[in-house]
Chain A
Amino acid sequence: MDKALELENLSKTYKIGFRKAGRRAVVDVSLSIPAGKVFGLLGPNGAGKTTTIKMALGFLKPDSGQVRIFGEPNGPKARARIGFLPEQPYFYPHLTAGAALDFYGKLFGLKRAERIERTKLLLDTVGLSDAVKLPLSKFSKGMLQRFGIAQALVNNPDLLIVDEPASGLDPIGQVEMRRLLAALNAEGKSILLSSHYLSEVENICHEVAIMNKGTVIARGDIGKLLDAGDVYTVKAKSLPKTWRPVKSVVKKGHINGIANLIVGKDDLDRLIDGIRSAGGHIEDVRKVTKTLEELFIELVGANANGGSHDAN
Protein backbone atom coordinates (compact mmCIF):
# COMPACT_ATOMS: atom_id res chain seq x y z
CA MET A 1 0.00 0.00 0.00
CA ASP A 2 1.24 3.53 -0.79
CA LYS A 3 2.43 5.56 2.13
CA ALA A 4 1.13 9.08 2.66
CA LEU A 5 3.69 9.91 5.33
CA GLU A 6 6.75 8.00 6.48
CA LEU A 7 8.78 8.99 9.50
CA GLU A 8 11.96 6.99 9.91
CA ASN A 9 13.94 6.95 13.15
CA LEU A 10 13.23 10.57 14.02
CA SER A 11 15.00 11.94 17.07
CA LYS A 12 15.01 15.44 18.50
CA THR A 13 16.71 16.95 21.51
CA TYR A 14 15.95 20.50 22.58
CA LYS A 15 19.04 22.36 23.68
CA ILE A 16 18.71 24.12 27.01
CA GLY A 17 20.89 27.22 27.22
CA PHE A 18 24.55 26.52 26.49
CA ARG A 19 24.51 23.06 28.04
CA LYS A 20 25.53 20.24 25.74
CA ALA A 21 22.88 17.85 27.04
CA GLY A 22 19.33 19.00 26.38
CA ARG A 23 15.83 17.57 26.79
CA ARG A 24 15.16 14.56 24.58
CA ALA A 25 11.70 15.25 23.13
CA VAL A 26 11.54 12.46 20.52
CA VAL A 27 13.68 9.33 20.46
CA ASP A 28 13.93 7.11 17.38
CA VAL A 29 10.29 7.41 16.30
CA SER A 30 9.23 5.56 13.15
CA LEU A 31 5.68 5.81 11.85
CA SER A 32 4.10 4.99 8.56
CA ILE A 33 0.72 6.42 7.60
CA PRO A 34 -0.89 4.41 4.78
CA ALA A 35 -2.57 6.39 2.01
CA GLY A 36 -6.33 6.63 2.43
CA LYS A 37 -6.32 5.79 6.15
CA VAL A 38 -6.97 7.79 9.32
CA PHE A 39 -4.02 7.46 11.68
CA GLY A 40 -4.34 8.56 15.28
CA LEU A 41 -1.39 9.85 17.29
CA LEU A 42 -2.02 9.68 21.02
CA GLY A 43 -0.08 10.45 24.11
CA PRO A 44 -0.10 12.44 27.33
CA ASN A 45 1.16 16.02 27.45
CA GLY A 46 4.88 16.17 26.68
CA ALA A 47 4.84 12.77 24.95
CA GLY A 48 6.44 14.23 21.81
CA LYS A 49 3.39 14.27 19.50
CA THR A 50 3.64 17.94 18.52
CA THR A 51 7.43 17.73 18.09
CA THR A 52 6.91 14.72 15.80
CA ILE A 53 4.33 16.64 13.73
CA LYS A 54 6.60 19.70 13.60
CA MET A 55 9.44 17.55 12.25
CA ALA A 56 7.08 15.96 9.71
CA LEU A 57 6.15 19.43 8.46
CA GLY A 58 9.70 20.80 8.46
CA PHE A 59 9.19 23.34 11.26
CA LEU A 60 11.89 21.55 13.24
CA LYS A 61 14.99 19.83 11.92
CA PRO A 62 15.37 16.31 13.32
CA ASP A 63 18.75 15.48 14.88
CA SER A 64 18.52 12.24 12.94
CA GLY A 65 16.03 10.39 10.77
CA GLN A 66 14.05 11.08 7.64
CA VAL A 67 10.63 12.36 6.61
CA ARG A 68 8.96 11.39 3.34
CA ILE A 69 5.64 12.73 2.13
CA PHE A 70 4.14 10.54 -0.60
CA GLY A 71 7.64 9.20 -1.15
CA GLU A 72 9.30 12.62 -1.46
CA PRO A 73 11.41 14.59 1.02
CA ASN A 74 9.69 17.56 2.65
CA GLY A 75 9.83 20.48 0.22
CA PRO A 76 7.43 22.85 -1.54
CA LYS A 77 6.33 20.11 -3.98
CA ALA A 78 5.50 17.66 -1.20
CA ARG A 79 3.84 20.34 0.94
CA ALA A 80 1.52 21.25 -1.95
CA ARG A 81 -0.28 17.96 -1.16
CA ILE A 82 -0.66 18.65 2.58
CA GLY A 83 -3.27 20.45 4.62
CA PHE A 84 -2.38 21.34 8.21
CA LEU A 85 -4.48 22.45 11.14
CA PRO A 86 -2.22 23.44 14.05
CA GLU A 87 -3.23 23.09 17.67
CA GLN A 88 -4.75 26.44 18.67
CA PRO A 89 -4.69 27.95 15.19
CA TYR A 90 -3.86 31.63 14.88
CA PHE A 91 -4.69 33.74 11.87
CA TYR A 92 -4.27 37.35 10.78
CA PRO A 93 -6.98 39.13 12.80
CA HIS A 94 -7.34 41.98 10.31
CA LEU A 95 -8.41 39.69 7.46
CA THR A 96 -11.98 38.58 6.88
CA ALA A 97 -12.66 34.85 6.53
CA GLY A 98 -13.00 35.26 2.75
CA ALA A 99 -9.81 37.34 2.42
CA ALA A 100 -7.83 34.93 4.61
CA LEU A 101 -8.87 31.88 2.56
CA ASP A 102 -8.03 33.82 -0.59
CA PHE A 103 -4.58 34.59 0.87
CA TYR A 104 -3.92 30.93 1.75
CA GLY A 105 -5.14 29.94 -1.72
CA LYS A 106 -2.55 32.29 -3.25
CA LEU A 107 0.19 30.57 -1.22
CA PHE A 108 -0.75 27.38 -3.09
CA GLY A 109 -0.67 29.25 -6.40
CA LEU A 110 -4.41 28.75 -7.02
CA LYS A 111 -5.93 30.86 -9.79
CA ARG A 112 -8.48 33.54 -8.89
CA ALA A 113 -11.55 31.62 -10.14
CA GLU A 114 -10.40 28.53 -8.26
CA ARG A 115 -9.84 30.54 -5.09
CA ILE A 116 -13.33 32.05 -5.26
CA GLU A 117 -14.88 28.61 -5.79
CA ARG A 118 -12.87 26.96 -2.98
CA THR A 119 -13.59 29.80 -0.55
CA LYS A 120 -17.35 29.47 -1.06
CA LEU A 121 -17.30 25.67 -0.91
CA LEU A 122 -15.11 25.46 2.19
CA LEU A 123 -16.94 28.12 4.19
CA ASP A 124 -20.18 26.27 3.38
CA THR A 125 -18.61 22.96 4.43
CA VAL A 126 -17.53 24.26 7.85
CA GLY A 127 -20.72 26.24 8.40
CA LEU A 128 -19.19 29.70 8.12
CA SER A 129 -20.79 30.91 4.90
CA ASP A 130 -22.48 33.77 6.78
CA ALA A 131 -19.12 34.93 8.14
CA VAL A 132 -17.33 35.42 4.82
CA LYS A 133 -17.02 39.20 5.38
CA LEU A 134 -16.46 39.03 9.13
CA PRO A 135 -12.90 39.82 10.36
CA LEU A 136 -11.25 36.86 12.05
CA SER A 137 -10.71 39.05 15.13
CA LYS A 138 -14.49 38.80 15.72
CA PHE A 139 -14.56 34.98 15.53
CA SER A 140 -15.23 32.81 18.59
CA LYS A 141 -12.77 30.01 19.44
CA GLY A 142 -15.04 27.41 17.87
CA MET A 143 -15.44 29.48 14.71
CA LEU A 144 -11.65 29.87 14.47
CA GLN A 145 -11.24 26.12 14.79
CA ARG A 146 -13.73 25.56 11.97
CA PHE A 147 -12.00 28.22 9.89
CA GLY A 148 -8.73 26.38 10.61
CA ILE A 149 -10.13 23.27 8.98
CA ALA A 150 -11.27 25.34 5.98
CA GLN A 151 -7.78 26.81 5.48
CA ALA A 152 -6.26 23.34 5.82
CA LEU A 153 -8.47 22.15 2.96
CA VAL A 154 -7.93 25.11 0.65
CA ASN A 155 -5.66 23.09 -1.68
CA ASN A 156 -7.87 19.97 -1.56
CA PRO A 157 -4.97 18.09 0.06
CA ASP A 158 -4.23 14.38 -0.21
CA LEU A 159 -2.86 14.30 3.34
CA LEU A 160 -4.46 16.21 6.17
CA ILE A 161 -2.49 16.68 9.39
CA VAL A 162 -4.70 17.85 12.23
CA ASP A 163 -3.49 18.61 15.73
CA GLU A 164 -6.31 18.56 18.29
CA PRO A 165 -9.11 19.40 15.83
CA ALA A 166 -11.87 19.22 18.45
CA SER A 167 -10.15 21.67 20.78
CA GLY A 168 -12.46 24.59 21.60
CA LEU A 169 -15.52 23.00 20.02
CA ASP A 170 -18.75 22.30 21.88
CA PRO A 171 -20.07 18.68 21.89
CA ILE A 172 -22.13 19.24 18.72
CA GLY A 173 -19.13 20.88 17.05
CA GLN A 174 -16.98 17.89 18.04
CA VAL A 175 -19.43 15.45 16.47
CA GLU A 176 -19.59 17.61 13.32
CA MET A 177 -15.78 17.72 13.17
CA ARG A 178 -15.63 13.93 13.50
CA ARG A 179 -18.19 13.55 10.71
CA LEU A 180 -16.26 15.98 8.54
CA LEU A 181 -13.00 14.07 9.03
CA ALA A 182 -14.77 10.79 8.29
CA ALA A 183 -16.28 12.29 5.14
CA LEU A 184 -12.88 13.59 4.02
CA ASN A 185 -11.41 10.14 4.58
CA ALA A 186 -14.28 8.63 2.57
CA GLU A 187 -13.18 10.92 -0.29
CA GLY A 188 -9.81 9.17 -0.14
CA LYS A 189 -7.81 11.65 1.93
CA SER A 190 -5.21 10.32 4.34
CA ILE A 191 -5.44 11.87 7.80
CA LEU A 192 -2.93 12.10 10.64
CA LEU A 193 -4.90 13.03 13.72
CA SER A 194 -3.26 14.00 16.98
CA SER A 195 -5.82 14.22 19.74
CA HIS A 196 -6.51 14.06 23.44
CA TYR A 197 -10.14 13.13 22.73
CA LEU A 198 -9.86 9.35 22.86
CA SER A 199 -13.45 8.79 21.70
CA GLU A 200 -12.67 10.88 18.62
CA VAL A 201 -9.67 8.69 17.79
CA GLU A 202 -11.51 5.48 18.63
CA ASN A 203 -14.40 6.36 16.34
CA ILE A 204 -12.61 7.40 13.19
CA CYS A 205 -9.06 6.05 13.20
CA HIS A 206 -8.01 2.88 11.42
CA GLU A 207 -4.61 2.76 13.08
CA VAL A 208 -3.10 4.43 16.10
CA ALA A 209 0.27 5.03 17.67
CA ILE A 210 0.57 5.84 21.35
CA MET A 211 3.55 7.93 22.38
CA ASN A 212 4.98 8.48 25.82
CA LYS A 213 8.22 10.15 26.89
CA GLY A 214 9.27 10.69 23.28
CA THR A 215 8.89 7.10 22.11
CA VAL A 216 6.15 5.05 20.47
CA ILE A 217 4.93 2.54 23.06
CA ALA A 218 2.14 0.96 21.00
CA ARG A 219 1.03 1.02 17.41
CA GLY A 220 -1.17 -0.82 15.00
CA ASP A 221 -4.71 -1.60 13.94
CA ILE A 222 -7.12 -0.09 16.44
CA GLY A 223 -9.37 -3.20 16.48
CA LYS A 224 -6.47 -5.46 17.41
CA LEU A 225 -5.15 -3.06 20.04
CA LEU A 226 -8.55 -2.85 21.74
CA ASP A 227 -9.27 -6.58 21.64
CA ALA A 228 -9.78 -7.67 25.28
CA GLY A 229 -9.76 -11.42 24.61
CA ASP A 230 -12.65 -13.89 24.43
CA VAL A 231 -15.16 -12.05 26.60
CA TYR A 232 -18.75 -11.27 25.57
CA THR A 233 -21.52 -9.01 26.77
CA VAL A 234 -25.12 -10.26 26.58
CA LYS A 235 -28.17 -8.03 26.98
CA ALA A 236 -31.48 -9.72 27.78
CA LYS A 237 -34.97 -8.61 28.85
CA SER A 238 -38.19 -10.15 30.23
CA LEU A 239 -36.23 -12.35 32.62
CA PRO A 240 -38.16 -13.63 35.66
CA LYS A 241 -36.98 -12.20 38.98
CA THR A 242 -36.15 -15.67 40.24
CA TRP A 243 -33.82 -16.43 37.32
CA ARG A 244 -30.13 -16.86 38.13
CA PRO A 245 -27.39 -16.88 35.46
CA VAL A 246 -24.65 -19.50 35.11
CA LYS A 247 -21.97 -19.17 37.75
CA SER A 248 -19.30 -17.97 35.31
CA VAL A 249 -21.08 -14.66 34.64
CA VAL A 250 -18.61 -12.16 36.00
CA LYS A 251 -20.65 -9.02 36.02
CA LYS A 252 -24.34 -8.20 35.90
CA GLY A 253 -26.53 -5.18 36.16
CA HIS A 254 -30.01 -3.95 35.21
CA ILE A 255 -30.83 -0.79 33.28
CA ASN A 256 -34.48 -0.10 32.37
CA GLY A 257 -35.37 -3.76 32.77
CA ILE A 258 -32.53 -4.99 30.58
CA ALA A 259 -30.00 -7.31 32.16
CA ASN A 260 -26.38 -6.72 31.16
CA LEU A 261 -24.29 -9.87 31.54
CA ILE A 262 -20.59 -10.46 30.85
CA VAL A 263 -19.43 -14.00 30.25
CA GLY A 264 -16.47 -15.96 28.86
CA LYS A 265 -16.66 -17.62 25.43
CA ASP A 266 -16.88 -21.13 26.91
CA ASP A 267 -20.13 -20.35 28.76
CA LEU A 268 -21.75 -18.08 26.16
CA ASP A 269 -23.97 -20.76 24.59
CA ARG A 270 -25.03 -22.07 27.99
CA LEU A 271 -25.99 -18.57 29.14
CA ILE A 272 -28.05 -17.85 26.00
CA ASP A 273 -29.86 -21.21 26.28
CA GLY A 274 -30.58 -20.50 29.95
CA ILE A 275 -32.05 -17.07 29.17
CA ARG A 276 -34.29 -18.49 26.45
CA SER A 277 -35.50 -21.43 28.49
CA ALA A 278 -36.40 -18.99 31.31
CA GLY A 279 -38.61 -17.03 28.86
CA GLY A 280 -36.21 -14.13 28.39
CA HIS A 281 -35.36 -12.35 25.11
CA ILE A 282 -31.81 -11.77 23.88
CA GLU A 283 -31.42 -8.08 22.92
CA ASP A 284 -27.74 -8.00 22.03
CA VAL A 285 -24.61 -10.14 22.07
CA ARG A 286 -21.20 -8.64 21.32
CA LYS A 287 -17.54 -9.22 21.94
CA VAL A 288 -16.08 -7.04 24.67
CA THR A 289 -13.28 -4.71 23.67
CA LYS A 290 -11.29 -2.37 25.82
CA THR A 291 -12.00 1.31 25.42
CA LEU A 292 -9.15 3.33 24.07
CA GLU A 293 -9.09 5.14 27.37
CA GLU A 294 -8.49 1.87 29.22
CA LEU A 295 -5.77 0.86 26.77
CA PHE A 296 -4.17 4.29 26.99
CA ILE A 297 -4.03 4.31 30.79
CA GLU A 298 -2.80 0.72 30.84
CA LEU A 299 0.01 1.41 28.38
CA VAL A 300 1.11 4.78 29.66
CA GLY A 301 1.13 3.35 33.18
CA ALA A 302 3.07 0.27 32.06
CA ASN A 303 5.50 2.43 30.10
CA ALA A 304 6.64 3.97 33.35
CA ASN A 305 8.11 0.51 33.96
CA GLY A 306 9.43 0.16 30.40
CA GLY A 307 6.71 -1.77 28.47
CA SER A 308 5.71 -1.59 24.79
CA HIS A 309 3.01 -3.07 22.57
CA ASP A 310 2.72 -3.77 18.87
CA ALA A 311 -0.52 -4.95 17.30
CA ASN A 312 0.96 -5.60 13.87
Chain B
Amino acid sequence: MQIRAIAANVIKEAIRQKIIYVIVLFTFLLFAIEPAIPSFKVGLRTQLFGDIALGVAYLAIAVIAIAISVNQVPKEIERRTIYNIFSKPVRRADFLVGKYLGVLVMLAICASLMGLAIFGFIYIYFGKVAYGIFQGVGMMLLEAALISAFATLVSTLVSPTINVFACILFYFVGHVKNDALANAIKAGGSTSALGLALKYTLPSLENFNVSEVVARGIILKTDFMLGLLLYTLVFIVIFLTIASFSLSRKEL
Protein backbone atom coordinates (compact mmCIF):
# COMPACT_ATOMS: atom_id res chain seq x y z
CA MET B 1 0.00 0.00 0.00
CA GLN B 2 2.87 2.40 0.80
CA ILE B 3 4.58 1.93 -2.58
CA ARG B 4 1.25 2.40 -4.37
CA ALA B 5 0.44 5.54 -2.37
CA ILE B 6 3.84 7.07 -3.15
CA ALA B 7 3.53 6.15 -6.85
CA ALA B 8 0.01 7.64 -7.04
CA ASN B 9 1.30 10.86 -5.50
CA VAL B 10 4.02 11.10 -8.18
CA ILE B 11 1.39 10.73 -10.91
CA LYS B 12 -0.87 13.38 -9.34
CA GLU B 13 2.01 15.82 -9.13
CA ALA B 14 3.18 15.09 -12.70
CA ILE B 15 -0.34 15.73 -13.99
CA ARG B 16 -0.44 18.98 -12.02
CA GLN B 17 2.87 20.00 -13.62
CA LYS B 18 1.15 19.64 -16.99
CA ILE B 19 3.59 17.13 -18.49
CA ILE B 20 0.71 16.32 -20.80
CA TYR B 21 1.41 19.60 -22.67
CA VAL B 22 4.48 17.88 -24.14
CA ILE B 23 2.13 15.40 -25.84
CA VAL B 24 0.02 18.21 -27.29
CA LEU B 25 3.20 19.87 -28.57
CA PHE B 26 4.31 16.55 -30.04
CA THR B 27 1.00 16.15 -31.91
CA PHE B 28 1.35 19.62 -33.41
CA LEU B 29 4.87 18.68 -34.43
CA LEU B 30 3.46 15.75 -36.43
CA PHE B 31 1.45 18.22 -38.51
CA ALA B 32 4.69 20.09 -39.23
CA ILE B 33 6.60 16.93 -40.21
CA GLU B 34 4.11 15.66 -42.77
CA PRO B 35 4.41 18.49 -45.39
CA ALA B 36 8.22 18.46 -45.01
CA ILE B 37 8.49 14.88 -46.33
CA PRO B 38 9.52 14.74 -50.02
CA SER B 39 6.91 13.51 -52.53
CA PHE B 40 7.93 9.85 -52.87
CA LYS B 41 5.31 7.26 -53.55
CA VAL B 42 2.78 6.83 -50.72
CA GLY B 43 4.36 3.69 -49.15
CA LEU B 44 7.76 5.33 -48.88
CA ARG B 45 6.31 8.57 -47.50
CA THR B 46 4.46 6.57 -44.81
CA GLN B 47 7.71 4.79 -43.85
CA LEU B 48 9.65 8.02 -43.71
CA PHE B 49 6.94 9.75 -41.70
CA GLY B 50 6.68 6.82 -39.25
CA ASP B 51 10.47 6.74 -38.84
CA ILE B 52 10.81 10.48 -38.21
CA ALA B 53 7.71 10.66 -35.95
CA LEU B 54 8.94 7.74 -33.82
CA GLY B 55 12.41 9.29 -33.69
CA VAL B 56 10.92 12.53 -32.35
CA ALA B 57 8.79 10.53 -29.87
CA TYR B 58 11.93 8.66 -28.64
CA LEU B 59 13.62 11.97 -27.95
CA ALA B 60 10.50 13.50 -26.35
CA ILE B 61 9.96 10.57 -24.00
CA ALA B 62 13.64 10.60 -23.01
CA VAL B 63 13.35 14.31 -22.18
CA ILE B 64 10.19 13.65 -20.14
CA ALA B 65 11.89 10.74 -18.33
CA ILE B 66 14.86 12.92 -17.37
CA ALA B 67 12.67 15.93 -16.46
CA ILE B 68 10.41 13.95 -14.12
CA SER B 69 13.02 11.65 -12.59
CA VAL B 70 15.88 13.99 -11.68
CA ASN B 71 13.80 15.94 -9.17
CA GLN B 72 11.79 13.24 -7.42
CA VAL B 73 14.12 12.58 -4.48
CA PRO B 74 15.97 15.96 -4.24
CA LYS B 75 12.69 17.90 -4.23
CA GLU B 76 11.38 15.85 -1.29
CA ILE B 77 14.59 16.55 0.63
CA GLU B 78 14.72 20.22 -0.30
CA ARG B 79 11.05 20.82 0.56
CA ARG B 80 11.45 18.71 3.73
CA THR B 81 8.34 16.73 2.83
CA ILE B 82 10.57 13.68 3.24
CA TYR B 83 10.42 14.08 7.05
CA ASN B 84 6.70 13.34 6.94
CA ILE B 85 7.42 10.17 4.96
CA PHE B 86 10.42 8.68 6.77
CA SER B 87 9.00 9.38 10.24
CA LYS B 88 6.33 6.86 9.25
CA PRO B 89 6.89 3.12 8.78
CA VAL B 90 8.23 3.54 5.24
CA ARG B 91 11.50 1.89 4.18
CA ARG B 92 13.77 4.08 2.10
CA ALA B 93 13.91 1.38 -0.58
CA ASP B 94 10.08 1.29 -0.75
CA PHE B 95 10.00 5.07 -1.08
CA LEU B 96 12.42 4.87 -4.01
CA VAL B 97 10.51 2.06 -5.73
CA GLY B 98 7.22 3.97 -5.25
CA LYS B 99 8.74 7.07 -6.80
CA TYR B 100 10.17 5.07 -9.70
CA LEU B 101 6.92 3.21 -10.40
CA GLY B 102 4.99 6.52 -10.37
CA VAL B 103 7.38 7.91 -12.99
CA LEU B 104 7.09 4.69 -15.00
CA VAL B 105 3.27 4.87 -15.10
CA MET B 106 3.51 8.50 -16.20
CA LEU B 107 5.98 7.54 -18.95
CA ALA B 108 3.71 4.70 -20.08
CA ILE B 109 0.77 7.12 -20.35
CA CYS B 110 2.87 9.62 -22.34
CA ALA B 111 4.36 6.94 -24.63
CA SER B 112 0.91 5.44 -25.30
CA LEU B 113 -0.56 8.84 -26.15
CA MET B 114 2.32 9.59 -28.52
CA GLY B 115 1.91 6.15 -30.13
CA LEU B 116 -1.82 6.76 -30.58
CA ALA B 117 -1.11 10.17 -32.12
CA ILE B 118 1.35 8.67 -34.68
CA PHE B 119 -0.96 5.72 -35.39
CA GLY B 120 -3.97 8.04 -35.88
CA PHE B 121 -1.97 10.42 -38.05
CA ILE B 122 -0.76 7.64 -40.37
CA TYR B 123 -4.30 6.24 -40.61
CA ILE B 124 -5.91 9.60 -41.39
CA TYR B 125 -3.23 11.05 -43.71
CA PHE B 126 -1.85 7.92 -45.40
CA GLY B 127 -4.80 5.50 -45.00
CA LYS B 128 -2.56 2.80 -43.46
CA VAL B 129 -3.05 0.74 -40.30
CA ALA B 130 0.45 0.70 -38.78
CA TYR B 131 0.23 -1.62 -35.75
CA GLY B 132 4.01 -1.89 -35.71
CA ILE B 133 4.11 1.65 -34.29
CA PHE B 134 3.01 0.21 -30.93
CA GLN B 135 6.00 -2.13 -30.88
CA GLY B 136 8.16 0.92 -31.39
CA VAL B 137 6.31 2.59 -28.51
CA GLY B 138 7.05 -0.45 -26.30
CA MET B 139 10.79 -0.24 -27.07
CA MET B 140 10.69 3.50 -26.54
CA LEU B 141 9.14 2.93 -23.10
CA LEU B 142 11.84 0.39 -22.17
CA GLU B 143 14.54 2.90 -23.08
CA ALA B 144 12.78 5.62 -21.06
CA ALA B 145 12.44 3.22 -18.10
CA LEU B 146 16.19 2.62 -18.19
CA ILE B 147 16.99 6.34 -18.41
CA SER B 148 14.60 7.02 -15.53
CA ALA B 149 16.24 4.33 -13.36
CA PHE B 150 19.65 5.86 -14.10
CA ALA B 151 18.32 9.36 -13.25
CA THR B 152 16.83 8.02 -10.01
CA LEU B 153 20.18 6.51 -9.04
CA VAL B 154 22.12 9.69 -9.81
CA SER B 155 19.48 11.82 -8.00
CA THR B 156 20.51 10.18 -4.71
CA LEU B 157 24.11 11.30 -5.27
CA VAL B 158 24.21 14.73 -6.91
CA SER B 159 22.12 17.85 -7.53
CA PRO B 160 19.39 17.84 -10.21
CA THR B 161 21.45 20.12 -12.50
CA ILE B 162 24.44 17.78 -12.51
CA ASN B 163 22.02 14.87 -12.86
CA VAL B 164 20.58 16.37 -16.07
CA PHE B 165 24.09 16.52 -17.59
CA ALA B 166 24.81 12.97 -16.40
CA CYS B 167 21.58 11.75 -18.03
CA ILE B 168 22.33 13.50 -21.32
CA LEU B 169 25.78 11.87 -21.30
CA PHE B 170 24.23 8.51 -20.46
CA TYR B 171 21.79 8.94 -23.35
CA PHE B 172 24.43 9.78 -25.94
CA VAL B 173 27.02 7.25 -24.74
CA GLY B 174 24.23 4.65 -24.64
CA HIS B 175 23.43 5.33 -28.28
CA VAL B 176 26.94 5.51 -29.73
CA LYS B 177 28.67 3.00 -27.48
CA ASN B 178 28.27 -0.10 -29.69
CA ASP B 179 30.04 1.52 -32.67
CA ALA B 180 32.64 3.29 -30.54
CA LEU B 181 33.49 0.19 -28.50
CA ALA B 182 33.61 -2.12 -31.52
CA ASN B 183 36.79 -0.33 -32.67
CA ALA B 184 38.27 -0.46 -29.16
CA ILE B 185 37.59 -4.20 -28.85
CA LYS B 186 39.28 -4.82 -32.23
CA ALA B 187 42.38 -2.87 -31.11
CA GLY B 188 43.52 -5.73 -28.85
CA GLY B 189 45.46 -5.63 -25.56
CA SER B 190 44.26 -3.56 -22.61
CA THR B 191 42.12 -1.32 -24.86
CA SER B 192 40.23 -4.39 -25.95
CA ALA B 193 39.70 -5.51 -22.35
CA LEU B 194 38.45 -2.04 -21.37
CA GLY B 195 36.15 -2.00 -24.40
CA LEU B 196 34.72 -5.39 -23.44
CA ALA B 197 34.25 -4.31 -19.82
CA LEU B 198 32.34 -1.18 -20.89
CA LYS B 199 30.31 -3.16 -23.40
CA TYR B 200 28.92 -5.41 -20.71
CA THR B 201 28.58 -2.90 -17.87
CA LEU B 202 26.95 0.00 -19.71
CA PRO B 203 23.53 -0.53 -21.25
CA SER B 204 23.30 0.03 -24.97
CA LEU B 205 20.34 2.27 -25.69
CA GLU B 206 20.77 1.76 -29.43
CA ASN B 207 19.28 -1.72 -28.93
CA PHE B 208 15.91 -0.04 -28.40
CA ASN B 209 16.09 2.01 -31.57
CA VAL B 210 13.66 0.13 -33.80
CA SER B 211 11.87 3.11 -35.33
CA GLU B 212 13.22 2.51 -38.85
CA VAL B 213 12.35 -1.21 -38.72
CA VAL B 214 8.79 -0.84 -37.43
CA ALA B 215 8.14 2.10 -39.77
CA ARG B 216 8.88 -0.29 -42.65
CA GLY B 217 6.09 -2.50 -41.33
CA ILE B 218 8.39 -5.27 -40.06
CA ILE B 219 6.92 -6.98 -37.00
CA LEU B 220 9.49 -7.52 -34.22
CA LYS B 221 10.04 -11.06 -33.01
CA THR B 222 8.73 -11.96 -29.55
CA ASP B 223 12.13 -13.45 -28.57
CA PHE B 224 13.83 -10.18 -29.42
CA MET B 225 11.36 -8.13 -27.40
CA LEU B 226 11.46 -10.46 -24.39
CA GLY B 227 15.25 -10.43 -24.50
CA LEU B 228 15.27 -6.63 -24.44
CA LEU B 229 12.71 -6.62 -21.63
CA LEU B 230 14.95 -8.89 -19.55
CA TYR B 231 18.02 -6.78 -20.45
CA THR B 232 16.18 -3.64 -19.27
CA LEU B 233 14.92 -5.26 -16.07
CA VAL B 234 18.44 -6.39 -15.09
CA PHE B 235 19.82 -2.85 -15.45
CA ILE B 236 16.80 -1.31 -13.66
CA VAL B 237 17.26 -3.68 -10.71
CA ILE B 238 20.99 -2.88 -10.57
CA PHE B 239 20.41 0.90 -10.75
CA LEU B 240 17.61 0.90 -8.16
CA THR B 241 19.56 -1.36 -5.78
CA ILE B 242 22.52 1.03 -5.84
CA ALA B 243 20.12 3.99 -5.50
CA SER B 244 18.45 2.37 -2.51
CA PHE B 245 21.83 1.74 -0.85
CA SER B 246 22.84 5.33 -1.51
CA LEU B 247 19.56 6.74 -0.11
CA SER B 248 19.75 4.53 2.97
CA ARG B 249 23.10 6.13 3.82
CA LYS B 250 21.91 9.65 3.10
CA GLU B 251 21.60 12.01 6.07
CA LEU B 252 18.45 14.10 6.04
Contacts and interface: CB of A to CB of B under 8 A. Distances in A.
Given A77-B89, A92-B13, A109-B1, A104 B251 contact: no
B41 interface: no
Q: Which of B1, B83, B85, B86 has the most CB of A within 10 A?
A: B83
B221 interface: no
B16 A79 contact: no
Contacts of B216: none
A39 interface: no
A233 B72 CA distance: 60
Interface residues of A, number: 29
Contact of B86 (A58, A61, A108): A58
Given A58-B86, A59-B251, A76-B90, A90 B5 contact: no
B80 A88 contact: yes
A84 interface: yes
Given A94-B13, A107-B5, A109-B1, A57 B86 contact: yes
B2 A107 contact: yes
Given A92-B9, A94-B16, A107 B89 contact: yes
A164 to B, nearest CB: 13
A156 B9 CA distance: 23
A71 to B, nearest CB: 17
Contacts of A155: 88
A59 B1 CA distance: 22
A86 B12 CA distance: 24
Contact of A107 (B12, B90, B251): B90
A79 B92 CA distance: 13
B102 to A, nearest CB: 13
B45 interface: no
Given A59-B251, A60-B251, A76-B90, A106 B1 contact: yes
Say whether chain B's binding surface is mostly helix, strand, loop, or mixed. helix
B81 A91 contact: yes
A94 B13 CA distance: 7
B84 A86 contact: yes
Interface residues of B, number: 24
A103 B84 CA distance: 11
Contact of A89 (B84, B85, B86, B89): B84
Nearest to B87: A84
Nearest to A84: B87
Contacts of B85: 107
A252 interface: no
A60 B80 CA distance: 14
B5 A106 contact: yes
Interface string B136-155: 00000000000000000000
A45 B88 CA distance: 27
A91 B84 CA distance: 8
Given A79-B88, A80-B89, A61 B251 contact: yes
A54 interface: yes
Contacts of B83: 57, 59, 84, 86, 89-90
Contacts of A103: 5, 9
30 contacts: A54-B252, A57-B87, A58-B86, A59-B86, A59-B251, A59-B252, A60-B251, A61-B249, A61-B251, A77-B89, A79-B87, A84-B87, A86-B83, A86-B84, A89-B83, A90-B79, A90-B80, A91-B81, A92-B9, A92-B81, A94-B13, A95-B12, A103-B5, A104-B88, A106-B2, A107-B6, A107-B89, A108-B88, A109-B89, A151-B84
Interface of A: 54, 57-61, 76-77, 79-80, 82, 84, 86, 88-92, 94-95, 103-104, 106-109, 151, 155, 161
Given A57-B87, A103-B5, A107-B85, 19 more contacts: A57-B86, A58-B86, A59-B87, A59-B251, A59-B252, A76-B91, A79-B88, A80-B89, A86-B80, A90-B79, A91-B81, A91-B84, A92-B9, A94-B13, A104-B84, A107-B2, A107-B88, A109-B1, A109-B89
